[in-house]
Amino acid sequence: MIKTQVEIDKAAMLLKLLGDKTRLTMMKILDTHDCCVCEFVEIFKTSQPSISQHLRKLRDVGLVKEERRGQWIFYSMNKSNEYYSFIQQVINQLPDQNYHLKELEEKGTRITCC
């Protein structure tokens, strides 16, 4: 179910989630590409547990999905989430972040398995 209006409590909760540069960038990237944890670790140059914890928060409210592919776990946007259209209104206004993936490709560390 897609909402055109979001209760104020839910909206505040979602905006707080997006109000972090790491998570916001993740969401922008995931809107167009699936990504595995180790790629995010490289993109954000932070620790793996930190990335996992950010992803967990996004997953806990159903904004993203996870799926194992071989040894990797790929995250993807959950476009059937009831708040996806709300989220989309925000991320559509953000500049493209796919240069991060380009950088991984150039370094040869982009994971394109399965």
Partner DNA sequence: TTACTATATAATAATTTACTTATATATTCA
Partner DNA sequence: TGAATATATAAGTAAATTATTATATAGTAA
93 touching its own copies, by CB under 8 A = yes
Which helix (H) or strand (E) segment holds residue 64: the answer is: strand 64-69
Q: Is 70 in the site for DNA (CB under 7 A)?
A: yes
Rounded CA separation 51/93 (Å): 24
From the list 10, 24, 34, 66, which residue makes contact with DNA (rule: CB under 7 A)? 66
Surface-to-core class of residue 68, CB atoms within 10 Å of its CB (0-12 exposed, 13-18 middle, 19+ buried) = exposed
Residue 13 contacts its own copies per CB under 8 A: yes
Q: CB under 7 A: which stretch of 2-10, 37-45, 77-85, 89-97 binds DNA?
A: 37-45
Our CB check for its own copies shows the closer of 61 and 73 to be 61
21 is a site residue for its own copies (CB under 8 A): yes
Q: Residues binding its own copies: what is the number (CB under 8 A)?
A: 27
Residue 53 is a binding residue for DNA (CB under 7 A)? yes
Half-sphere exposure of 109 (CA within 13 A, CB side): 13
Rounded to 5°, the CA angle 5-7-11 comes to 90
